[in-house]
Structure 1
Amino acid sequence: MATQAPQPEVEQKQPDVIANTSEEAPVEEAYQLTVKLPSGKLGEIKILASPHEAIHDIKQSIMESPQTCAHSCFYLAFNGKRINDFMELGEVEGITTESELQLVEDNYTERDVRVHITRLRDLLGGPYKQNSAAIGIDPSISFLTAVTGEIDEEFLAEGDKKMEDIFSNEPIPEHAFTGVDVEAPSNLADFVPTTFQRTAPQCLKSISLSGWNPVSHSRRLAGDLLYLDVVTLENETLHITASTTGFFINSSTASEFNPRCRGANKRAHSLIRLLQTLSPQFASNFIKVQDFITQHHMLEVLPVNTYFPSHPWAVKSSEPTFDLARPAEPYLNFGADAVDSFRDWNDELQSHRELPKSNLQERVLRERLITKVQSEFTDAAVRGAMAVANGSVIPLNPLEPEESHMYVYNNIFFSKGNDGRGTFETLGANDAAHVATGKDLEGVKMLNSIDIDGLYTLGSVIVDYKGIRVVAQSIVPGIFRRQDENSIVYGSVDNGVTITADKTFHESIEQNVAKPLHLSEHALVDGQGESTKLFTSVETKGLLGADGRRYLLDLYRLNPVDIEFQESECKATDGGAPAYPHKMTLLRPELMSMYWEHMFRQWYKTKVDAIRKERSEAAGAVESAEKDDDKKDEKDAEKEQQTDVANKQQQEEEDFNIDVNEFQLTFNTDVFTTANQGENATIKEQEKVIRGASKFLNDEIIPTLVLDFASYAISPLDGDALTKAMHRRGINMRYLGKLAKLVSVSEDKRIHHIHALAIQEMIVRISKRLLRKYTATLDLEESRLCLSHYLNCLLGGAVNAKPQPVLPAGKNKNDYSWAHLTPQSLKKIMEDQVLTWFRYTLDDKDWSQLKPLPTLREVCIRAGMQLEARDYRFAAYTPEEVAANAAADAQLESMLSRQQNQQQKSSRKSNKKHQQAANSLATATATLRRKTTFIPEDILNIMPTVKQASTRSVFAEETFEAGKISLAQGERQLGLELLMESLTLHEQTYGFLHPETSKCYATLGMIYHHGEDRETALDLQRKAVIAAERTLGVDHPETVHHYLNLGLFEHAAGRSKLALRYLRHALYYWDLLFGPGHPDSATADNNAGVMLQSLRDYKTSTQFFKRACATQENIFGKDHVLTASGYHVLAKAYTLLGDFNEALSAERLAYGVFEKKLGKDDHRTKESDAWLKELTSNALLTAQRAQEQQQLQDQQSPLEKVKQHANNAKSEAIKGELPIDQVLQYINNGTSGSSSRKTGKKSNQKRR
């Protein structure tokens, strides 16, 4: 993109880095262009652009610049000739790297006027302008600018920090943790930072379409396009005409139409310029708006176009604002004919997939277009699904039962995710159908990932809203037409009664699907006894569309059955768990891939071992013969033997010519199903393979995951991270109970947090299932009542053991099943459901360790709730609080009663007193103590949850992985080049705002940080933070980790106060995500302690080190080396604080563990021993001096005692404020070695 501002260092370096990669052409010189402006104070601007950049992209950058944002309808000219907007800059004839372009104002069309007005409204609304079309509150929000605040520290390059800074006499600077109780839990009311500013300065009272629209035919001939009404801050109403030549003030009023222009100075080409000349307040405040926008990072302002935006689960309620133009936004954005312009989603998706991909540029363009149209399809599908769930769409088959209804809306086909036609009756009915929809989407994702040629999948999205699952799919051409012959040419539509297998379809599946997925060709017997061979399951269908394309549908059985689970759990046992609710228990694709690789490695090892054995035997026979025939001395024999061994190893490496194609392992997805495959030895062998995969999951993969948890190879923070960790290893979530049992049996404190997380995840998943059942038949008003009551029963039982549900007027409890819930009954239901779905028995200990805030967060996210960000009480009231609350309630109720009586007695004439009484009554009512934790008004919005089959850029990911491998192998330059190329591919394919791009930013930022390029590292890490906030969520674990790293980078750059702001922000969300006790939290606390020491706040830093030690001791135990290291650091912190007794106690603990675990010769033991000796001698010296001092004070006059006390205080302050090495020197020599200071605890220390 062209730009007027200097680019961040990473972007400037990027062409140089990519220039060395294999596929890219040499980088051409950038164009430094001058653009002459038509009028105004600013005569020209400078543009930096690439020769391959399109002219319309350069125009867009001009429109987005604060200096030239008033221009939207113009063209660029070179040497007086208009340049085509779709040309590349380098294609313009005669242009050079330092040419001059002219910005020429163009005539407006009706579309140009709408764009101009929309852009002005967007500018006036600021970066967080209210979006009337958004499905939730605060979509894709970012807090980075709010958290950053005003930076009052200088950026320091490596080596700039000087030693004399350590001995500063300045007071301890105020920072993010000043006056903060480190041990206090996070308050949900602080979810949105107090520094977050949502609204921009107001420039106009209103801007709206005039009632004189639409323009009459005669006025269109005069050039009029649109009429506007603008009310300025000076309370002047302006009637404005948008014409082909610009904007002018007409002479109309609200009651009389007069199109004539008021005067020559009342006309301008840009509406912004016109308003600046007519309204002084608009002119001044518009500059403030521009400043407000430019204070934000570029990525905070850009729209999220290629990923479903995140919506926070906790939000601040805000009052609606009056805006006459808001209802007209669809017209301003899309024009009068937008309703009739339905898109052919299927043709767009498939046409983009058919684009060429023979070189890198074509692949990038193809993937970018596919990503964009899929994102737009998802957005349309979500809105359509909400309309279907709300009953706003008429079904295609209204006479059939509601469960079977089908819908078409906005050229998208919608159906409910239940068993409306009895397809899954024998497998679990609606439960099986619900799972099948998710597996079908998984199948679409699998086929999209392998990028099949000649076969097509539908655009697919699953939307869960108000307890209803809606499946959205693009429409196959001709699917609703009656045809003479069946369009299903592969598979079966009647459960195997008739089976077809088109030859072309079969061959295409073999080449494009069966090979990468390792699917087995197998014979199936239809109702007539005829055998047909298929690669996919009989339930997978191949359809020949009217457009000639071949589509694969119903892909929920691309993976085989988990037979071990099905045989053991899908039937009830005496005294055990009930039967699992459905038989759609399939293995995950990740597991099948891992199992295939596992079997391949075993096969390869067997081959290698056989070859080695054969060669060893042959070599032994030759050696024996040589010994018999040739008698050589022992020295020559030894040399020959060594040579033989070396040659043998080299020969093995060169001569292991094993043909990997000999390995054959394929999976039959129809085994262990109702499909008729006959009886033969092949089927038995295929069943054995599938059973082996199922055993591999239980015997190898799940135990290995537990070991990974114990070694901290994986350390999830929330339920979503735990789910992803299990899925990446091919483990279905039905094994969550088994995982919890394994973790519990291990009795390893290091993974106690995993057990707590697994319990929480099971409860959250059952909550989602129960809420789906309760809200499926409710409207939105009733859903809010149900959700608040459910939360009270789940999390508010300590506050109110018998919460009463709020019911609609005229309804009673018997009208709703959820209204009968109590905390005790819900607990019983939950325990039964957890046993049924996860084969795990919840006990009282499990319930006691449930953390309210993290659980509330997970339930809200899974159920699509947006909750008021306020402090909710979960703990029971103490007797003292109960008594105080009762007295307060009685007083308030008495006051309310008096006010009501006064209100009834007041005369109609005393309106003022009547209004004051009403206001007091409302205020008093609002202050009444809540009887429950949640009330219906806390639920501010109910949102859909979305699953989509998004494609991934394989080439970008492969380049990214290759870069990481190169770095791991020590090839830093090559690795950096590959990662930079991968970043370019990510930005071109996904855009700047995407989770994958965010990961790329973060990885590169860390590499530059280690390479001491701090400015580039910070720029990349800020981008990572914003991209994660706006796509994953402001409190997502990845966002939290990005903030922690950004804090480390800022601290390394010398901005420790800014770093602490980021750390406090991250630690706040960390507490909401998990609470205390996570293993990784000790690292974050240690980092915070180090930063606070650099600001000389030793007291607060010691609190963080103490908390880190407590976490490590709780998880690892006192006898662990990591715990000892923590105590060693804590001892240093106490020393800087001047608390030598505590320092000595901590160091003793550390030394004892180091000596026991590492031995006396280890450097950590030696260092600890040195500290221990010095601290011990210092303790003795301090005690001796204290005794002498006491004796001396007994003999001194009162005045001398005061002086001596002051000197002692100064001495103690000096000891507490010196760096660690100088504290040791002080202890050894009994002198500080530096001048005295006026205040204590104010010097810096070396970074640890």
Structure 2
Amino acid sequence: PHPFLYKMYPYTVRDARLHLRHVRDLLRSLDPSDAYNGVNCSSLSYLTFYTKGDKASEKESSDCSPPDYILPGCKDRPLIPLQPFRDDCKPLQCLRVLTMSSWNPPPGNRKMHGDLMYLNVLTMEDKELNITSSTRGFYLNQSTTFNFNPKPALPKILCHSLVELLSQVSPAFRKTFSALQKKRVQQHPYERIAAPFQVFTWVARHGDHTLDCVRAEETHTSRMGQDEHTAGQNRDWNEELQGCRELARNSLQERLHRERSIFKVSDFVAAATRGAVAVIDGDVMPLNPGEAPHVQMFIWNNLFFSLGFDISEHYSPLGGNTAAHAAAICDLRGAQAYTSVDVEGLHTLGTAVVDYRGIRVSAQTIVPGILEKNQEQSVVYGSSDYGKTVFTHPRFLELLDKTSEPLRIQRHQVLDHRNSPVELCSGIETKGILGNDGRPYILDLLRTFPPDLNFQFSETEERREVPKECLLFGYPRRHHHSLASLRPELIEAFAQHRYELYVKMVSQDLIQTEEHDKALEQRIGDAATSVADMEFQRRSVIMKACEAVGSVSDSCFDIRFNPDVCSPGIQHTCAQTHILLCL
């Protein structure tokens, strides 16, 4: 750049820190340590390992089969990491040490001269360098470990880029950095670009712990979750998520724009992860500091955080803390299910579940106005006390009825504290709240899928009739909590199996009916069966098949489940139709 640009756009402290971080990212671009530790949305990738980079020819076939030592039946299992690793992918070391100097921060008189920060560098030639980052760029100073001398070293070299300065004073850095950039560019773009949906590995290879000034500074500097590019500003995550979902979806172009907008707010997960770590590390002040640590709640960066413990014995009938720990994942799966249905006008909260240092943290966006009053006063649909008081609302019934068919949820009635029937179209734990922004929100979706009756919370529960096949396999089994539910894949597989039986029964009965009508016509010699009789016989065949496969409708195939079946403390108006799946 022209020197005139240095005067127009001088470096600031923030620019210098971002530049130092960018240099650090370039130097560690081939090092898998950040991917193992989940730093800056880095995730492990095996694409280059299986494609063998640029060494694999088009005619050469790649063997993508897993190693023998991880397959079942292997007797000799070596003590090596499970992740594949290429020997030719070892990181290239450009510097021995790049760290912040102990002379930081600059004194007042040097700040007036434009000094922003000081750096210490140890090159591969074992040459110690003291570098000044100023508003004009980077240059070498005359400071030592125990003597501060900010004057420029001779010869005077001023560079706008730290990489350019190091390339001039260290031939080894210039050669290795050029090779590193060439090797980095040869990687597949999927391995160079951070994934918005990060994957954390639970097994990591043991590596050397190296000096990293950026990592050390970020560890001891709390940004309170603020984005580096929007310093001092908190994002309204709820408004961003709901606003993207309310975008038009009529034409293909509108749908593409809507999906891109939703994809852009995927950094909500990264913000929730940073917030959960800050909560566990004690960097966030709780809303109720006088309470016990396991019942404290937090608000950070417009996100609400709660710990996976049983607060005020809410989950006591379901299994206590074990049920509260499982409820977070059940709620997350329910939010994913309702989001995938994508009913216009129905809103779910942005939800993320983070496990850190043995503690489960649930992060959610905040419903506008919910903090101004108690949750019990805000609930207009569902129940907050396991069926003692149940509410319903026509707007929520209309919206949830649109989700009942794709989610296979049966519309049912329960009795409230006055023994009055209340109609629901979801689990009784699902709560409906009208926010101050006029949007209807549903939360606490842990009862979205039907319970798995093969796993019971207590042996003292009332034993129900189960098939002999289940008894032979030891079902029902005692479980740690009563929130065990059926996977949606199993529900769809079961519905598909019942649909095949339904089609088979209807086709066979119709064939038998037609053959019977023809035989009767030939024997009597009368006219063919009237249209009304044929329609009546078809309806009879369909009703018989629907009853046989367990359809909730007697006129068409419709398999649905009641998520409140066998839930403790809930009274149904009548025997609700449900199907017990025996695994």
Structure 1 length normalisation: TM-score?
Answer: 0.37
Q: Secondary structure at the match of 2:377?
A: coil
The CA deviation at 1:541 is 0.6
Comparing 663-672 with 473-482, greater Cα deviation is found at 663-672
CA deviations on 1:274-323 (whole Å, 9 max, x unpaired) are: 443444343233223224434544433332x22223436152242x3234
Q: Secondary structure at the match of 1:529?
A: coil
Taking the aligned partners of 1:278 and 1:362, their CA distance within structure 2 comes to: 54
The answer to whether the aligner puts 1:351 opposite 2:240 as a matched pair is no
Select which of 458, 467, 482 maps to 2:373.
Answer: 482
Q: Secondary structure at the match of 1:408?
A: strand
Q: Secondary structure at the match of 1:486?
A: helix
Q: How does 1:662-741 map to 2 (within 5 A)?
A: 662-674=556-568, 677=571, 679=573, 683-684=574-575, 686=576, 689-690=577-578, 693-694=579-580, 697-698=581-582, 702=583
CA deviations on 1:929-988 (whole Å, 9 max, x unpaired) are: xxxxxxxxxxxxxxxxxxxxxxxxxxxxxxxxxxxxxxxxxxxxxxxxxxxxxxxxxxxx
Structure 2 length normalisation: TM-score?
Answer: 0.73
Residue in 1 aligned with 2:413?
523
Residue in 1 aligned with 2:431?
541
Taking the aligned partners of 1:504 and 1:340, their CA distance within structure 2 comes to: 39
The answer to whether the aligner puts 1:121 opposite 2:24 as a matched pair is yes
For structure 2, list consecutive stretches of 5 or more residues without a partner in the other structure. Answer: 62-66, 69-73, 464-473, 528-537, 546-552
Q: Secondary structure at the match of 2:348?
A: coil
Q: How does 1:276-355 map to 2 (within 5 A)?
A: 276-294=167-185, 296-303=187-194, 305-311=195-201, 313-318=203-208, 320-329=209-218, 340-355=232-247
Select which of 535, 552, 555 maps to 2:445.
Answer: 555
Q: Could you say if the C-alpha distance between residues 449 and 215 of structure 1 is closer, same or farther in structure 2, counting changes exceeding 3 Å?
A: farther
Q: Could you say if the C-alpha distance between residues 148 and 421 of structure 1 is closer, same or farther in structure 2, counting changes exceeding 3 Å?
A: same
Select which of 489, 514, 517 maps to 1:590.
Answer: 489
Equivalent pair of 1:522/1:534 in contact (CA under 8 Å): yes
The one-letter code matched in structure 2 to 1:416 is L
The CA deviation at 1:564 is 6.4
Q: Could you say if the C-alpha distance between residues 358 and 496 of structure 1 is closer, same or farther in structure 2, counting changes exceeding 3 Å?
A: same
The one-letter code matched in structure 2 to 1:185 is D
Select which of 581, 598, 615 maps to 2:514.
Answer: 615
The CA deviation at 1:550 is 1.5
Residue in 2 aligned with 1:64?
none
CA deviations on 1:116-149 (whole Å, 9 max, x unpaired) are: 3332222223321754994589963446657887
Residue in 2 aligned with 1:532?
422
Taking the aligned partners of 2:56 and 2:364, their CA distance within structure 1 comes to: 54
Q: Could you say if the C-alpha distance between residues 328 and 365 of structure 1 is closer, same or farther in structure 2, counting changes exceeding 3 Å?
A: farther
Taking the aligned partners of 1:454 and 1:603, their CA distance within structure 2 comes to: 34
Taking the aligned partners of 2:343 and 2:423, their CA distance within structure 1 comes to: 21
Residue in 1 aligned with 2:535?
none
Select which of 255, 262, 273 maps to 2:148.
Answer: 255
CA deviations on 1:823-861 (whole Å, 9 max, x unpaired) are: xxxxxxxxxxxxxxxxxxxxxxxxxxxxxxxxxxxxxxx
The CA deviation at 1:189 is 3.8
Select which of 503, 506, 509 maps to 2:394.
Answer: 503
Taking the aligned partners of 1:484 and 1:289, their CA distance within structure 2 comes to: 56
The answer to whether the aligner puts 1:440 opposite 2:346 as a matched pair is no
Q: Could you say if the C-alpha distance between residues 614 and 441 of structure 1 is closer, same or farther in structure 2, counting changes exceeding 3 Å?
A: same
Taking the aligned partners of 2:200 and 2:227, their CA distance within structure 1 comes to: 28
Q: Could you say if the C-alpha distance between residues 138 and 622 of structure 1 is closer, same or farther in structure 2, counting changes exceeding 3 Å?
A: closer
Taking the aligned partners of 1:188 and 1:340, their CA distance within structure 2 comes to: 48
Equivalent pair of 1:210/1:227 in contact (CA under 8 Å): no
Q: Could you say if the C-alpha distance between residues 271 and 363 of structure 1 is closer, same or farther in structure 2, counting changes exceeding 3 Å?
A: same
Q: How does 1:14-53 map to 2 (within 5 A)?
A: none
Comparing 558-567 with 208-217, greater Cα deviation is found at 208-217
Taking the aligned partners of 1:156 and 1:587, their CA distance within structure 2 comes to: 46
Equivalent pair of 1:203/1:286 in contact (CA under 8 Å): no
Taking the aligned partners of 2:316 and 2:184, their CA distance within structure 1 comes to: 57
Which structure has the highest helix share of the two? 1
Q: Could you say if the C-alpha distance between residues 300 and 313 of structure 1 is closer, same or farther in structure 2, counting changes exceeding 3 Å?
A: same
Q: Could you say if the C-alpha distance between residues 470 and 485 of structure 1 is closer, same or farther in structure 2, counting changes exceeding 3 Å?
A: closer
Taking the aligned partners of 1:347 and 1:601, their CA distance within structure 2 comes to: 44
Q: How many residues align?
A: 528
Q: How does 1:998-1077 map to 2 (within 5 A)?
A: none
Taking the aligned partners of 1:216 and 1:362, their CA distance within structure 2 comes to: 55
Taking the aligned partners of 1:345 and 1:314, their CA distance within structure 2 comes to: 32
The CA deviation at 1:342 is 3.4
Q: Could you say if the C-alpha distance between residues 196 and 184 of structure 1 is closer, same or farther in structure 2, counting changes exceeding 3 Å?
A: farther
The CA deviation at 1:453 is 1.8
Select which of 79, 82, 91 maps to 1:199.
Answer: 91
The CA deviation at 1:457 is 1.5
Between structure 1 and structure 2, the one with the greater Rg is 1
Comparing 390-399 with 563-572, greater Cα deviation is found at 563-572
The CA deviation at 1:517 is 2.2
Q: Could you say if the C-alpha distance between residues 226 and 495 of structure 1 is closer, same or farther in structure 2, counting changes exceeding 3 Å?
A: same
Residue in 2 aligned with 1:140?
43
The CA deviation at 1:347 is 2.5
Residue in 1 aligned with 2:311?
420
Q: Could you say if the C-alpha distance between residues 232 and 405 of structure 1 is closer, same or farther in structure 2, counting changes exceeding 3 Å?
A: closer
Taking the aligned partners of 2:518 and 2:477, their CA distance within structure 1 comes to: 62
The CA deviation at 1:542 is 0.4
Residue in 1 aligned with 2:64?
none
Q: How does 1:964-1003 map to 2 (within 5 A)?
A: none
Equivalent pair of 1:203/1:285 in contact (CA under 8 Å): no
Equivalent pair of 2:35/2:44 in contact (CA under 8 Å): no
The one-letter code matched in structure 1 to 2:265 is V
The one-letter code matched in structure 1 to 2:372 is R
Residue in 1 aligned with 2:354?
463
Q: Secondary structure at the match of 1:480?
A: helix
Q: Secondary structure at the match of 2:404?
A: helix
The CA deviation at 1:578 is 8.3
Taking the aligned partners of 1:335 and 1:594, their CA distance within structure 2 comes to: 44
Q: Could you say if the C-alpha distance between residues 132 and 217 of structure 1 is closer, same or farther in structure 2, counting changes exceeding 3 Å?
A: farther
The CA deviation at 1:487 is 1.5
Taking the aligned partners of 1:579 and 1:205, their CA distance within structure 2 comes to: 57
Q: Could you say if the C-alpha distance between residues 415 and 606 of structure 1 is closer, same or farther in structure 2, counting changes exceeding 3 Å?
A: same
Q: Secondary structure at the match of 1:461?
A: strand
The CA deviation at 1:488 is 0.9
Q: Secondary structure at the match of 1:315?
A: coil
For structure 1, list consecutive stretches of 5 or more residues without a partner in the other structure. Answer: 1-37, 40-73, 75-103, 159-175, 178-182, 630-651, 703-1248
Q: Could you say if the C-alpha distance between residues 364 and 341 of structure 1 is closer, same or farther in structure 2, counting changes exceeding 3 Å?
A: same
The CA deviation at 1:255 is 2.8
Q: Could you say if the C-alpha distance between residues 563 and 117 of structure 1 is closer, same or farther in structure 2, counting changes exceeding 3 Å?
A: closer
The CA deviation at 1:535 is 1.2
The one-letter code matched in structure 1 to 2:564 is D
The CA deviation at 1:625 is 8.0
The one-letter code matched in structure 1 to 2:192 is V
Equivalent pair of 1:569/1:580 in contact (CA under 8 Å): no
Taking the aligned partners of 1:236 and 1:531, their CA distance within structure 2 comes to: 80
CA deviations on 1:330-381 (whole Å, 9 max, x unpaired) are: 889988897744333323322222233333444344334434534x333333
Tell me the C-alpha RMSD between the 2 structures.
Answer: 4.8
Residue in 1 aligned with 2:471?
none
Q: How does 1:53-64 map to 2 (within 5 A)?
A: none
Equivalent pair of 1:147/1:193 in contact (CA under 8 Å): no
Taking the aligned partners of 2:227 and 2:487, their CA distance within structure 1 comes to: 46
Q: Could you say if the C-alpha distance between residues 226 and 204 of structure 1 is closer, same or farther in structure 2, counting changes exceeding 3 Å?
A: farther
Q: Secondary structure at the match of 2:364?
A: strand
Equivalent pair of 1:572/1:579 in contact (CA under 8 Å): no
The one-letter code matched in structure 1 to 2:29 is G
